[in-house]
């Protein structure tokens, strides 16, 4: 999927998946990788059904190698949604 900035310009690409771990609840273990110009950001979390999923930013590469924070994914339908990152720390020096 393609990621866009708040101004509508191409910011990068992202991909994620969820594996159902308990169909009786339902619960899924979800991971996300966001590829940006200066590195990648990874996120993961235990989530329930759509539309809203809360993830922890677990790190990344490049200037995001020490990234931490939270992410919120709101699904609008098949392959559409909004991913908002709340990055609390990273290493802008590379």
Domains of the chain (ranges; CATH) run 2-89 (2.40.480.10)
Q: In this structure, are residues 84 and 57 in contact, taking their beta carbons and an 8 Å threshold?
A: no
| E strands in the chain | 2-4, 10-22, 27-36, 39-47, 52-60, 68-77, 80-89
pLDDT at 35: 94
- Residue 5's pLDDT is what? 65
- pLDDT computed for residue 39 by the predictor: 94
Residue 17 has a pLDDT of 87
Which residues in the chain come in under a pLDDT of 50?
none
Q: Is 59 left (phi over 0), alpha (psi -120 to 50) or beta?
A: left
The predicted pLDDT at position 2 comes to: 62
Which residues are 85's β-sheet partners? 71
- pLDDT at 41 (0 to 100): 95
> What is the pLDDT, as a whole number, of residue 40?
95
């Amino acid at each position: 999927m393609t990621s866009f900035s708040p101004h509508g310009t191409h910011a990068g690409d992202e991909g994620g998946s969820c594996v159902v771990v308990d169909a009786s609840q339902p619960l899924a273990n979800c991971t996300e990788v966001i590829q940006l110009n200066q590195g990648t950001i990874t996120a993961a979390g235990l989530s329930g059904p759509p539309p809203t999923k809360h993830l922890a930013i677990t790190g990344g590469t490049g200037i995001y190698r020490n990234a931490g924070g939270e992410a919120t994914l709101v699904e609008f339908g098949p392959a559409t949604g909004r991913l908002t990152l709340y990055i609390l720390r990273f290493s802008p020096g590379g």
